[in-house]
Structure 1
Amino acid sequence: MAARCRRVIGSAALCAALVAGLGGCAGFSPVSGADAQGGASAGVEKQAAELSLVHEGALTVACPLDCLPYFQDANGVQTGFGCELMDAVAQRLDVEVAWSKADSADAALARAQVAGQTVRGAQVRADAAMTVADAVSGQVGSVVADDASGMVRVPFVDVSQCLVAKKSSAVESVDDLGGCKVGVLAGSPGAAWAASSLADVQLVEYNNVGELFSALQARNVDAVVADEQAANYHLRVSYGDEHVVQHIEGADAGYALAFDADNEALAQAVAQALCAMREDSSYQQLCDAWFSEADNSRGKVEARTPEQGAPGHDKGGGV
């Protein structure tokens, strides 16, 4: 991928890196109707009427919805970078977003395939699934074939992993982890990296990011491995004594939308919408809102509920 968020060095720098990863939105065919001068929005709207959707007028997205800053479902209110990004994409396609809450990433993927997922004897289908994978190839806003799964993916954010510990602890790098308990998110790229790269440690798995950082705060683990954007979000809104001690190279991960290969036209339209968001800076606005650098120099800052969203970000407004 053209730009890796290997080091989160402030919201402006981070978003510049993410937007650079969009490049010229190359790597896929222009949406039908887009002219040579860049009439991408008109092309998206023209094709939207011809898209094959599980439910007419709605882009149905399957996702676990349990990991801020990307996704959260609190009292029926969906929030997070991924949720707001899909709201903006759907607006450009002139459709609504319908969320299909899945129990796991595998369940979400199954729902995005033609056969769907069988739940209590009923077929549950979605147009796309939010997924995370090691080193997602392709630029944000491109369409990438995944031969292993028979699906196509549209990367929408690229991250790397980091090590987080308490400021008051002796852990200053991965070299200090001998004999330590290290928390990881079950099934995540960070967990895979830790299992293959850390020796003489006890790995403790947690089901979501909130549990992961709560365990560190309660000293149930000595350190955690997490993606940088999630770490910066949680450190900024909820924690004061914890901080990022090391950025981990070679443990890249990315979030992508996965579509059944038979529905590549929809993937193309979504990818073009992401490119349009880069052009009008709304992609960067979401980055600014959700992926600001953790700043623990002032200690604990005002916490925000999932319904409120990130500090300084008015969820009532759209992009």
Structure 2
Amino acid sequence: MQRRNTFLFGLGIAATAALALTGCAGGGGTSDGSTDEPPAGEDFSLVQAGTLTVCSDIPYPPFEFEDSSSPSGYSGFDIDLVAAIAESLGLDVSIQVVGFDGLQSGTTLVAGTCDMAASAMTITPEREANLDFADPYYDSLQSLLVSTDSGIASIDDLAGKKVGVQQGTTGEAYATENVPEGTEILSFPSDGELWPALQGGVIDAILQDQPVNVEHERADSTFVIVEEYNTDEQYGFAFAKGERTALLEAVNAALADLRADGTYQQIYDEYFSAN
């Protein structure tokens, strides 16, 4: 937060001007003994001074979801971890909801909508061509979610069925490469459309990140994960390519500190200890 110098008045216009000049030349003191300090994060070229503006595709529980009790209006593993990072950097945090496809392609970040992306985004060579990633913060799997009476026991049973995926995700890529011939792949903008489509019978299965399907399985016992796929995926916070080096390095340092002091593990256990 910027502080303004306090000047003494009542000594005449000339005296006031002299005090103002003295204050500028001195480079620090104010009449109340405080010092002028740059706003937190001044070296990061933030979208909003003093605030870490984070773009995310929401909802995607347990990583991101609406939460009116949270200061930012959102919670989840990604959101809570970003909030802890922002706090360690002396910054506030603001969450901007955007589409995932624009995030993973890099167009949203290049447009300057936000300082970074936190959206359960897998680090891939294709994305690294357009984005810079911080150090990985989560290891993930893919999985197949179906209704308990679907008769689907594995990905091989999807022939003649409709499987839903999220557009632009590694789940979509995995489905495209691995479903049997005759499977219809339907892409949706986000999990906010995928999950109702499965519940409503529009699709027969969802193939996407395992933690998200676990949340659906817990929420409705008539759905079950029948397979998990080890794809060696790791999530990373993303930045506009070549534009936010100082911020990326600061996030990496903060993330390392949060791992070292146990904060990362506390946040992780809140969302995944029962998985």
Q: State the TM bucket, normalised to the shorter chain.
A: 0.7 to 0.9
Specify the alignment match of 1:218 in structure 2.
200
Cα distance, 1:270 vs structure 2: 0.5
- What is the aligned counterpart of 1:182 among 142, 147, 163? 163
Structure 1 spans left out of the alignment, 5+ residues: 1-46, 118-123, 138-144, 295-319
Task: State percent identity of aligned pairs.
Answer: 27
Give matches, 1:27-38, under 5 Å. none
User: Secondary structure at 1:155's aligned position in 2?
Assistant: coil
User: Secondary structure at 2:160's aligned position in 1?
Assistant: coil
Within 2, Cα distance between the matches of 1:182 and 1:107? 23
- What is the aligned counterpart of 2:74 among 78, 86, 90? 78
Question: Which deviations, in whole Å up to 9, do the C-alpha atoms of 1:262-311 show, x marking residues without a partner?
Answer: 321111111111111111222122222223546xxxxxxxxxxxxxxxxx
Within 2, Cα distance between the matches of 1:72 and 1:219? 24
Instruction: Considering Cα pairs closer than 8 Å and 6+ residues apart, tell me whether 1 or 2 has the greater RCO.
Output: 1
Within 1, Cα distance between the matches of 2:229 and 2:182? 18
**Which protein has the bigger helix share?**
2
Give matches, 1:129-148, under 5 Å. 129-130=117-118, 134-136=122-124, 146=128, 148=129
Within 2, Cα distance between the matches of 1:172 and 1:293? 24
**Pair 219,125 (structure 1): closer, same or farther in 2 beyond 3 Å:** closer
Cα distance, 1:173 vs structure 2: 1.1
- What is the aligned counterpart of 1:235 among 193, 197, 217? 217
State the Cα RMSD in Å. 2.7
Contact (CA 8 Å) 1:67, 1:210: kept in 2 or not? Answer: yes
Within 1, Cα distance between the matches of 2:130 and 2:252? 19
Specify the alignment match of 1:31 in structure 2.
none
Contact (CA 8 Å) 1:134, 1:251: kept in 2 or not? Answer: no
Within 2, Cα distance between the matches of 1:215 and 1:150? 31
- What is the aligned counterpart of 1:172 among 134, 153, 162? 153
Within 2, Cα distance between the matches of 1:162 and 1:49? 42
Cα distance, 1:91 vs structure 2: 0.6
| 2:273 is the alignment partner of 1:280 | no
**Pair 62,91 (structure 1): closer, same or farther in 2 beyond 3 Å:** same
Question: Which deviations, in whole Å up to 9, do the C-alpha atoms of 1:154-194 show, x marking residues without a partner?
Answer: 43323120111122231111122221111111221111111
Counterpart of 1:193, as a letter, is Y
Cα distance, 1:149 vs structure 2: 1.7
Contact (CA 8 Å) 2:216, 2:223: kept in 1 or not? Answer: no
- What is the aligned counterpart of 1:68 among 42, 61, 72? 61
User: Secondary structure at 2:130's aligned position in 1?
Assistant: coil
Counterpart of 1:210, as a letter, is G
**Pair 203,88 (structure 1): closer, same or farther in 2 beyond 3 Å:** same
- What is the aligned counterpart of 1:127 among 109, 112, 115? 115
TM-score by length of 1: 0.64
Cα distance, 1:252 vs structure 2: 3.2
Structure 2 spans left out of the alignment, 5+ residues: 1-39
Give 1 or 2 for the bigger CA radius of gyration: 2
User: Secondary structure at 1:162's aligned position in 2?
Assistant: strand
Cα distance, 1:249 vs structure 2: 3.0
Within 1, Cα distance between the matches of 2:80 and 2:45? 22
